[in-house]
Amino acid sequence: MTITYDELKSFLESIGGLKCPKWRLDDSGEEFDTITDPYFFEIESGWYGLVKNMINEMIELGWDREIHQVKQKYATLRFYTGPASDALYKVIIMYQRLSAETCEVCGEPGEIRDSGWSVTLCDKHFEQRSV
pLDDT of residue 32: 77
Instruction: Yes or no: say if 85 and 77 are a contact pair by the CB < 8 Å rule.
Output: no
What mean pLDDT comes out for the span 55-63?
A: 97
pLDDT digits (tens, 9 = 90+) for 77-114: 999 998 899 999 999 999 999 999 999 999 999 999 99
Q: How confident is the model at residue 42 (pLDDT cuts 50, 70, 90)?
A: very high
- What whole-number distance in Å separates Cα of residue 31 and Cα of residue 49? 29
Helix axes 86-99, 48-60, angle to 10 degrees: 160
pLDDT of residue 27: 65
pTM: 0.90
| Confidence check: pLDDT of 45 > 80 | yes
| Confidence check: pLDDT of 33 > 90 | no
Tell me, rounded to whole angstroms, the distance of Cα 69 from its chain centroid. 8
- What whole-number distance in Å separates Cα of residue 1 and Cα of residue 106? 10
Instruction: Yes or no: say if 83 and 21 are a contact pair by the CB < 8 Å rule.
Output: no
